[in-house]
Amino acid sequence: MTITNLDVYQIDLPLHEGSYKWSGGKSVDVFDSTVVVIKTDEGVSGVGEVCPLGPFYLPSYANGARTGIAELAPGLIGRDPLQINAINEWMDAALKGHPYVKSAIDMALWDLKGKVSGLPVGVLLGGFQTKDVTLYRAISQESPEKMAEKVAGYKAEGYTRFQLKVGGNPNEDIERIHAVAGLMDADNKLVADANTGWLKHEAIRVVNAIKGLDVYVEQPCLTYEECLDVRRKTDLPFILDESIYNIQELIRGFTDGAMDVINIKISKLGGLTKAKLVRDMCEQLGIAMTIEDSWGGDVITAAIANLAQSTAGPLQFTATDFNSYVTVNFADGAPKRVKGKMSASTAPGLGVELKMDVLGNPVFSF
């Protein structure tokens, strides 16, 4: 079996809530997602997706994803798509860095492998260990009252995990956290996610002001070293996200005792292959995980569900269902939220079928 064609599509994903806001005044109204379809000489194809959180979050952006894929695409033609590790090694040699560029390609290879084997990607990633995964809801940064109101509404829909977007004015953030913490039930989890937005002295003020609350603190500062210093000044459970971008940083964080939970973003690591490597290491080290991506639609949501459900249940901190945030669905078979949980399809591959009438024509093909 060899790769014969690679088609790349672009699709806009508007938000039900109109906009998504987080630290530093960052905001996105419409997410620009890229969908990759890899075709073979045996008629089997695989699909992947990458959707950066705008150009000002991680070192990634939507046009960069498509430009990078166009750089790699000619070298993929004629390769055996089932040799996923070999293709990843070739991509890393052909294009230094830019892991997000490679993510959709890698995801499509796993989807294709699942279809060839007749197995869901979750089985190939280690086997489904739970029947579903508990979801979190990200709460866009607004006034304390508005954020509390939204949390109450999402609780009524069945969510039990909430990720507050803080990292703004520390005084307002303290109010935001207190306003929502009072709404939590015993089985709820609350995360105050600063997305690197606080300076170290601000983060220390916040963790001292919320001492005694049942809340997790996520990525308070830009650098690993700053986060580690804040970690050492609080007893609150600690999550690292942006600082954990490869297996080496995971090992460093574990050795330093820098975190209790990490966020695995599939595209930040370079695809399902490397996300699985980090996931497997976390399982061995006893580190809990939020399994997600920067953003996405139906395909990324399916990949998240497959990776999360093939993760040991006690270490599944939470995951997310991006396709419920957006107004456009472009694939059938993607997971759908039911009372704060979702389940991966048991169909081969990622279990999704693209709606070509929604995607339209590819922006380029090889």
Active-site residues: which are they?
A: 165, 265
Distance CA 67, CA 79 (A): 20
Residue type, 41: D
Taking the alpha carbons at both ends of the chain, their separation in whole angstroms is 17
Number of neighbours of residue 356 by Cβ within 10 angstroms: 12
What the block records as the tokens of 238 is 């600690």
Question: How many residues in the chain?
Answer: 366
Q: What single DSSP character describes residue 323? A: G
Residue at token pair 């330093």: 256
Residue type, 40: T
Residue type, 284: Q
CA distances (Å), origin 219, targets 114, 232, 243, 248: 35, 13, 8, 18
Distance CA 137, CA 154 (A): 8
How distant is the alpha carbon of residue 39 from its chain centre? 25
What the block records as the tokens of 230 is 């804040």
Residue type, 184: M
3 state SS of 22? strand
C-alpha angle 68-72-76 in degrees, rounded to nearest 5: 150
The arrangement of strands across the sheet holding 216-218 comes to 136-139, 161-165, 189-193, 216-218, 238-240, 261-265, 288-292, 316-319
3 state SS of 218? strand
What would you report as the CA-atom Rg of the chain, rounded to the nearest whole angstrom?
20
How distant is the alpha carbon of residue 15 from its chain centre? 17
Kind of pairing between the strands at 316-319 and 288-292: parallel
